Amino acid sequence: MIEALIKFFVLFFVVVEPISLVPMFAALTEGASDDYKRRMACKAVILAGLILLAFALAGGALLDTMGISLNAFRIFGGLMLFLIALDMVYVRPSGARTTTTTEVEEVKRRPDIAVFPLAFPFIAGPGALATILLVTGELARTSLLFLGMMTVVVIVLAITYLLMLLTPQVMRALGVTGGNVVSRLTGVILGALAVQFVIDGVKGSLAG
């Protein structure tokens, strides 16, 4: 169980990628007060947590209702995570986390950025939602392992919140080069895990 939780922590941390969220948060809150930054960071993390919890509890039932097997979702989820990993390795914007020009202008016009784009798609994005369902899909919602994984989600979100609060210090410490190095390393790890998801999905489908 400890090994499974550690593996999930690494996977979920890599998918959420809180370190790369720091430059985005810095750009969105440039010139804002410290109180505004704290409120937006706190609200975004709480909303992202609620989205992830809802998907963990009801995502499997939704797939069953639509007639989609968990193995099929595992294959698609693995492919999607692999594409995100490629973007991280080559340090280019990911379609799962970037916003369109129209959406960026919308962000600039309204003061509350917690729901969009922070909570979704930056924190609880498609990659994070797919990861939650892939890992918890076959677990009983009352099992100790499921509760442990939800605790891991809370820990990653707490780290994300802390990093957003420490945005100026993190930006000075990492710089552009440091951020690119971290992105490439985590991208390699995520790519390998994504391939494993696809292999498991194919095996499960063939066995079924």
Q: Is 89 left (phi over 0), alpha (psi -120 to 50) or beta?
A: alpha
Distances 207 to 68, 70, 135, 139, 204 between C-alpha atoms, Å:
16, 13, 19, 19, 5
What does the pLDDT look like over 131-167, one tens digit per residue? Answer: 998 888 778 888 999 999 999 999 999 999 999 999 9
Q: Is the pLDDT of residue 88 over 90?
A: no
Alpha-carbon distance of 148 to 128, in angstroms, equals 17
What counts of helices (H) and strands (E) characterise the chain?
8, 0
pTM for the full model? 0.78
Percent of residues, the chain, with pLDDT higher than 70: 89
